[in-house]
Structure 1
C-alpha cells in the first residue's frame, strides 16, 4: 500500500497488538535467513480465532509460488480446531514489521473468511480493516459456484 492510499480502519486493540508480537516471535524463532539475506522462511503470520486463541504460520518460499505465511497460519488454525478466524497479520523476519497481504492471500481470505479482519500498515500506523476493504469489487468465487 503506497503512502497515498488509505483505507479506513480501526486502531489495534491490546489483543491485536499481542497477535502482531506473536507473529513476529514465531518467525524470528525459525527464520533461516542471514541478517539482511534471503531464506525460505522469512515471513510469519498469526491468526486470532473467536475464542481468543492464536495460531502461527510461516511462509515456505519457492519460485513456483510456495504458500504465504497467512495461508499456513489459517491452515494451522483449522488443523487445531479453529473454525472462526477473526483477525490475521503477517510480519517480516528480523523486525521488518507488519506486511500487507498479497493479492492471492486477499482473494483466498475473501472467498473463505469474508468476515475476517486484517492488520495492515496505514500512513497513521497499524490498523485493522475488513478483508472486503482490501479487495474492493472482488471476484466472488462462491457466488459463481451457485
Structure 2
C-alpha cells in the first residue's frame, strides 16, 4: 500500500466530477463515478446505472469505456460516491473482474489513514486468475 501521488489525486477528481455532474438527484444515494488511467496517461470515466435488479458498477463501466476506446493497459482505478462520499473500495465482483482482466492494476481505496493505492492482487488475496 502506498500514499497517493498527483496522478492518483487527479483520477479521484475526475471521478468526482463525473458523479457530481451525473448523480441521480437527492435520491441518488447509490450513484458512483469511476475513473481509470491507461498506461499512456489517458483517463476514461464511467458511472453506475443503479437499478433494483442489479447494475453495472461504475468501475465496470469505466473499464468498458477504456476498452471500447482501445485502451488495453490500465494502471489505476478509483470509484467515488456522490454527495461528497469520496473514494469507495470496489465490491467483490469488481475486484474479481479487475483481478482477471488487469492483475497489475492499482486501486485507490479508503483506509483509516486516508485514501491509499493498493495492488488489486492484494485486495484479492490468494486469488486464482480466470482462464477462459
TM-score (structure 1 length as normaliser): 0.86
Q: Pick the structure with greater CA Rg.
A: 1
Runs of 4+ in 1 over 2 A off after TM superposition: none
Q: How does 1:36-75 map to 2 (within 5 A)?
A: 37-38=27-28, 42-75=31-64
Residue-pair matches, total:
132
The answer for the alignment partner of 2:67 in structure 1 is 78
Secondary structure of the corresponding residue to residue 19 of structure 2: helix
Please give the TM-score of this superposition, normalised by the length of structure 2. Answer: 0.95
Report the equivalent of 1:15. Answer: 7
2:121 aligned to 118, 124, 132, which one? 132
Q: CA RMSD in A?
A: 1.3
Runs of 5+ consecutive residues of structure 1 not aligned to the other structure: 1-8
Equivalent residue for 1:111? 100
1:33 maps onto 2:28 in alignment = no
Unmatched runs of 5 consecutive residues or more in structure 2: none
In structure 2, the residue corresponding to 1:122 is in which secondary structure? coil
Distance in 1, matches of 2:28 and 2:13, equals 22
